[in-house]
């Protein structure tokens, strides 16, 4: 499997997990479930939520932006640092 296909499969898996989580929330919000059904879905939802959060955190760690310093060197910095408002130079 190529790198692109593996990435697409991971994205699809994440999307599938997110969709399933949304479905669980919708079913729970309907109010048509027994307590046991609600508890079972809640447990599954918590696991899905934790999995999705972990995958998002991992993706965020991998995202890097290349910046060119004043000396012309390229360096990688986390995307978070690049998105923070810059203070004007005096």
pLDDT for the residue 57 = 87
Band of the pLDDT at 17, cuts 50, 70, 90? Answer: very high
Please give the structure tokens belonging to residue 58. 């991992």
- Report the CATH fold assignment for 3-63: Helix Hairpins (1.10.287)
Q: What is the mean pLDDT of the segment spanning 48-52?
A: 95
Task: Kindly tell me if the per-residue pLDDT of 78 is higher than 70.
Answer: no
Task: Kindly tell me if the per-residue pLDDT of 65 is higher than 60.
Answer: no
Task: Name the residue among 56, 83, 55 with its Cα closest to residue 67.
Answer: 83
DSSP character at residue 65: E
Q: Is the pTM of this model over 0.75?
A: no
Greater pLDDT, 18 or 87: 18
Q: Please give the Cα distance from 18 to 10 (Å, whole number).
A: 12
DSSP character at residue 73: -
Task: Kindly tell me if the per-residue pLDDT of 30 is higher than 90.
Answer: yes
Task: Kindly tell me if the per-residue pLDDT of 2 is higher than 90.
Answer: no
């Amino acid at each position: 499997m190529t790198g692109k296909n593996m990435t697409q499969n991971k994205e699809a898996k994440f999307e599938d997990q997110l969709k399933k989580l949304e479905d669980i929330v919708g079913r729970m919000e309907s109010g048509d479930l027994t307590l046991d059904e609600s508890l079972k879905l809640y447990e599954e939802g918590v696991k899905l939520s934790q999995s999705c959060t972990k995958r998002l955190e991992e993706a965020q760690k991998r995202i890097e932006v290349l910046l060119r310093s004043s000396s012309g060197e390229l360096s990688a910095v986390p995307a978070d640092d690049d998105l923070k408002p810059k203070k004007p130079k005096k």
